[in-house]
Amino acid sequence: MLRKILVANRGEIAVRVIRACAEMGIRSVAIYTEADMYSLHVKKADEAYSIGEDPVAGYLNIHRIVNLAVQAGCDAIHPGYGFLSENADFAAACERRGITFIGPTADVIRRMGDKTEARKAMIAAGVPVTPGTEENLSGLDEALEVAQRIGYPVMLKATSGGGGRGIRRCDTEAELRKNYDRVISEATKAFGRAEVFMEKCVVNPRHIELQVLADSHGNCIHLYERDCSIQRRNQKLIEIAPSPQLDEGQRQYLGGLAVIAAKAVGYQSAGTVEFLMDENDRFYFMEMNTRVQVEHTISETITGVDIIEEQIRVAAGLKLRFKQHEIQRRGYAIQFRVNAEDPKNNFLPSFGRISRYYAPGGPGVRTDTAIYTGYTIPPYFDSMIAKVIVWALTWEDAIARGERALRDMEVHGIRTTKTYYLEIMHHPGFRAAKFTTSFVEDHPELTEYTEKLCKSDVAAALAVAVAAHAGL
């Protein structure tokens, strides 16, 4: 078994991995840049080391991180998500230095990180994909030819894309001409590669993904699906497990496809196979994420499987502790990504000092976060500050619990998306479990309602402060 793990990440996912290490009797090592000197993951780890003054560069410095792991006596590195988590060169560097990379092999990361290669692998395995190109586009002329053949609308996508970046929908030839160079530029800046490919756009899809676990002994299972359709600009906001929009037959079919996909590429570790579901209930492979997902929490909640612990055990060469027939799901779980953004001001980032923080609690509530009262949120990273996860036996009860938990949560000193999520849950379409990836765009009025809620929250906070000052 592994003895000491360096966590090559920050924030709530670093805290999550450190907690798993503590439960498994494994020593943890945190890394931090100057901006994260007072972060919670630094306080929680058994050891912590600075990786430089630049807020971000240290978390992306492969050789510095691997060298530090060796010097600190670590036998493994957990990459979390984001940063270097899907970087094949990072996994290869760990292997060269005798450090266990807690994730799939470098070859698998490289293959599935290249979206055109991933499409080829899925086609060969019999997994349905959307019509599109099997190779990178050679230029605008080919893009126009392909779009004419498969029909508009189409999606231009960065071959090495992820996180909602490097993606543009084109409804007409004019839009394709306008967006082609933009996607090339975005891909180059974000991923260092100018390659793009094209897919037929699935209009108003539902975004359904499957959590898989696979070991080095040929065992592979799924932990059922998550519905990630509530998005804004391709960024997930609210995730649900299992999807309240699927029936049991669809659920079993997708689970089988996910296992086929993982086995087809020799996958080992925790991963996610993502699908789009069209208006005619047809499913298409979209991509495979070769890391732990932000929303892994809700799969854990409905199955009772600790995904991070299984991921560590698999990396140590151990077998999965569960067979597929032993995985039982129970109830519904919802995760809210609480972001430091101002919903009434076009979701602008709202970084700064948290003057007071009260975490939600009670039955069926889990909060994964790295914030605390007095913590200053740095402006250099993703705006997500907390994940609020709720569970209940029925969909209706899960919504009610989600509303209660979000109202319980108080973060003063910055703006958050909490009130916006409350409005989403009040919407009849959400409550009836009838929504697609266009839900947020189709309901701009929710932002207006949120502004009213924000104002009422401010008034309530002022009243509390006045009462406290008066000694009432």
Question: So which residues are the catalytic ones?
Answer: 291
The C-alpha atoms of residue 412 and residue 408 are separated, in whole angstroms, by 13
Residue 384 CA to chain centroid, in angstroms? Answer: 11
The C-alpha atoms of residue 384 and residue 82 are separated, in whole angstroms, by 12
The two beta strands, 384-392 and 165-170, are unpaired
- The tokens for 48 are 């912590």
Q: What residues form DSSP beta bridges with 338?
A: 386
**Residue with the two structure tokens 């036996």:** 393
Is the dihedral angle over the CA atoms 139, 290, 226, 388 positive or is it negative? negative
Question: With contact defined as beta carbons under 8 Å apart, do 110 and 266 qualify?
Answer: no
Angle between helices 445-470 and 418-426 (to 10 degrees): 130
Residue 374 CB neighbours (<10 A): 12
The C-alpha atoms of residue 30 and residue 9 are separated, in whole angstroms, by 8
> What amino acid occupies position 329?
R
The C-alpha atoms of residue 82 and residue 84 are separated, in whole angstroms, by 6
Question: With contact defined as beta carbons under 8 Å apart, do 113 and 88 qualify?
Answer: yes
**Residue with the two structure tokens 């590195």:** 77
